[in-house]
Amino acid sequence: MSAFWSEKKVFITGITGFVGYWLAERLLEQGACVVGLVRDCVPESNFSRFRLADRIVTVSGALEDYGLLERTINEYDIDTVFHLGAQTQVGVGNRSPLATFETNIRGTWNLLEACRVHASMIRRVVVASSDKAYGDQKILPYTEDAPLQGSHPYDVSKSCTDLLASTYFNTYGLPVCITRCGNIYGPGDTNLARLIPGIITWVLKGEPIVIRSDGMLVRDYFYVRDAVSAYMLLAETMEARSVVGEAFNFSSGLRISVLDMTKKILAVMHKTSHPVQVLNEARGEIRDQYLSSDKAARLIGWQPDYGLDEALAETVDYYARLLQER
């Protein structure tokens, strides 16, 4: 355990998401006082299943409510903010761009402004972004100096999120860092439209695997425990202020196609074969996306702890136990 987090007052947006849950658990283990923003309660989420609300302060509301965010930071003496809250699905963004922009863009400037107003209290703000902020690039892997050029609603919302965070650092000196990760997966993701939990659940139920794309999209898959370690290490490093204002990619280093990931999951589940339907219906998807995390290794000494097989095995075990409980 690190003494760093003892008695820190930490505000997490998006705490009911599976990344928010794992981050809160790690912070509680290390003695932090956690305040979480809760918009919706999802019974299947780890937040609900493991009664996280009984161990933290919960604030009910949405990122679009500036007054609520400002009150929360002030009343609970917040010194650290992890901004994980967002509309995170590409498909939802394509269907409902305005709602995505409201949550991801307005929600971010609301939070950053509330932090600016109480800058005397705020020591660090970690804004969780995405590789989608880079948009479609000719040069891969993405590095932090690549331009932010999202072209579809979700991607654009993340590009704007990052620019807003940089603005609040450059103009007001707000202690902000930006994290850009690939496709985060792991135990507790309730969004079965995502590839990894969807495949695992279909196989456990004996149903065909359905691939929306042509199966050739290449992605960077990142285990949730590694993501949490990355966020926390970055926040701790910000105490020295040498990295404040910077953006950091965090990556497992994997570059794997949808079909190859499908085969890998089947192998981990000890399945020699399983029916797969390739629909080739996905639209508004970038073909290849993967990150370089060399900057994080060089400046803050971060490296992933989990290999793909170990991470997938833990994830499969979680969903198998979940189905048994139902």
Same domain, 95 and 125: yes
Nearest-angstrom CA–CA distance, 217 and 149: 19
Same domain, 258 and 177: no
Q: Report the CATH number that the domain containing residue 159 is assigned in CATH.
A: 3.40.50.720
Same domain, 320 and 263: yes
Same domain, 68 and 210: no
Same domain, 133 and 107: yes
- pLDDT tens-place string over residues 227-272: 999 999 999 999 888 899 999 999 998 899 999 999 999 999 999 8
Domain extent, residue 209, equals 195-217+254-287+316-325
Q: Is the dihedral of CA 209, 199, 283, 216 positive or negative?
A: negative
Q: Which residues participate in catalysis according to the annotation? A: 154
Evaluate whether residue 56 is within a structural domain.
Answer: yes
pTM: 0.95
DSSP-derived pairing of the beta strands 57-60 and 209-211: unpaired
Q: What is the pLDDT, as a whole number, of residue 1? A: 54
Picking from 242, 225, 219, 223, the residue whose alpha carbon sits closest to that of residue 295 is 242
Peptide bond just before 147 cis, omega within 30 deg: no
Helix (H) or strand (E) holding 35: strand 33-38
**Structure tokens, 285:** 């998807």
SS3 125: strand
Same domain, 234 and 321: no
Give Cα separations from 127 to 54, 98, 286 (angstroms).
Answer: 26, 21, 23
Evaluate whether residue 311 is within a structural domain.
Answer: no
For the chain, what is the domain count? 2
Same domain, 135 and 79: yes
- Are 195 and 183 a contacting pair, CB within 8 Å? yes
Q: Along the 326 residues of the chain, how does pLDDT read in single tens digits? A: 569 999 999 999 999 999 999 999 999 999 999 999 999 888 889 999 999 999 999 999 999 999 999 999 999 999 999 999 998 888 888 899 999 999 999 999 999 999 999 999 999 999 999 999 999 999 999 999 999 999 999 999 999 999 999 999 999 999 999 999 999 999 999 999 899 999 999 999 999 999 999 999 999 999 999 999 999 999 999 988 889 999 999 999 889 999 999 999 999 999 988 999 999 987 767 889 999 999 999 999 999 999 999 999 999 999 999 988 87
